[in-house]
Structure 1
């Protein structure tokens, strides 16, 4: 049984690599058939230089879509074979430019018949298939340039794992979790302050009994995230979003966004118009999350926290 048929489309990369290796192996022999001393992997660089232009390695890398180290390695191999030469740019002595050697220029003339024959053969093969592989590759490259495969799989992973996340209202049984999750991240970056202890040691009197709320995120039934909505008195803001924490073992599952979104929805239900929060720019993932939730930076607010160096607000419409 063909293993790729058994595995299915998740083996796309491996199957394309097998096809690529097969074509590259045959291309090696095709070059020999026409008396061309060229490695298949050198061809993009050779073709770029075959029109008579001299180019820097950076320019070549950009135009053929390879990394600069990869092109540098190929150029060194081609120099050893005498196909290209490296010289100083006459207009800028700090730059080296690459050009075809006399041997390389001779190969340019010899390879024309190979181009013609190979093009005919490729067209014949394409005409015998139901799908146009060339156009399909172009479509795939376009789509993956818009959003690469890693990002697509990451989003899908978060989407799947989000189905196992449940956001619930705080209950007394989660008091220790509310404190421990917050202590964990605060102690990792800063130090616990007096205002932290007020909220974490007394969530009922400091948050809930004053009109605030606490939400808990469960992942497969286990509490892994918390977030509070603290009622603000004598302020232009209705609530402060505070004490958001997600267990390190549950990070990467979109829990921060889900519980943040849920706490904002709670504020909407309570007819809030503006929400405030305080943070520190060293917490880059958190700041990115707040921006994703719709918060914008504000200045000039008084804060009880030493660690606070950024203040943000969300205007609810």
Structure 2
């Protein structure tokens, strides 16, 4: 499932899909058994049935929905003849919601259905039903103590305030060289044998032949990497660039690219090239801005099955930055 691969980033979407599934199942049951209600009506109707007449504000607070959402649902319930608005005798400026006789009659006959719902959910989800309810309750408590929007904004401020550092290769960073490249390779293509060899032993295949490897670090997080591979004296390949998708948009790819180009010049390189794939449009645009020029055909003798783009560094042709 694609949303599952996004983890916490798609939490809201996954919960909505799960909610829609349960709403749909309940509506199917109500229709099949001839119950005159809809699943989305239940929180308001059931609360008014249990607690008696209440204001929209009180209902919204009790069921954990916004005042606007409860007000809109109330409009539907009024049109359906299930709820009536009347003036609060204690405060004429407020409206009080009360169930109609039609609603009382409908709800009074739903006992067997609600019992079946309880048992059916337990049967379908088995032990996960109790675990899910416990998890929901724990989440609700946590969100009351610290609203998620505030927590997200605080983390965003912390991320933006953390300096991005470019550091050279160190043995302790070897696992990140593999991890960061495997992430994008597995997402877009597959890890080829040449990739597996180079990523597993970068000292042998990149550093010993005269190359260099750089990493982008955000605080203690290693979020990106890129390598400069010396193919022959004066000829270098820009290769193995990967940025953790969680941290894209911070400029790590651009900084890594600049570090590799600077190292190329520092070593007196004569030719710098790269191989890529036409599907990676964001990366290709970044390379072009840095001065890489698209060649009319793939590189002769390319080692990569996925490579259908060949670019050579021509800094004099790079577009001027505003």
TM-score, length basis structure 2: 0.47
Greater RCO (Cα-Cα under 8 Å, separation 6 or more):
1
